[in-house]
Amino acid sequence: MHPDTNVELGLAVQTATTVEDCKAACVRNTQCTGLDFIPTNPEADRCWLGGPWSGRRNDGTQPGVDHYDLDRACTGKILYSLAVTSPGFIVHPLFID
């Protein structure tokens, strides 16, 4: 997670009111590369997805905004997330905290 950071021109997900809902929305959107979550905003304005439509990244200049990068390939990462499903396992994308 990158505190006080956002990416301009995010795509709002009005139904994602928690950071976990917002992460799930990002994973479902195949073009999503990360998200901004603003917990103090009204519920419909908390989750913003970033992708090829987005503008520049503002590192450390947006108080109260938490930015999460999504690494779909988990390139160069040792950690991964597994969800046990029947009949096997599914590897999920990793959010870099």
Give the domain ranges of the chain: 2-69
Four-residue CA torsion sign, 17, 11, 29, 82:
negative
* Backbone φ and ψ of 95, nearest 5°: -90, 130
- List the chain pLDDT tens, one digit each, 97 residues: 999 999 999 999 999 999 999 999 999 999 999 999 999 999 999 999 999 999 999 999 999 999 999 988 766 554 444 444 434 444 445 555 4
pTM over 0.85: no
E strand map for the chain: 2-3, 6-7, 11-12, 34-37, 47-50, 57-58, 66-71, 81-84, 89-92, 94-96
- pLDDT of 45 reads 96
What is the token pair recorded at 29? 């959107």
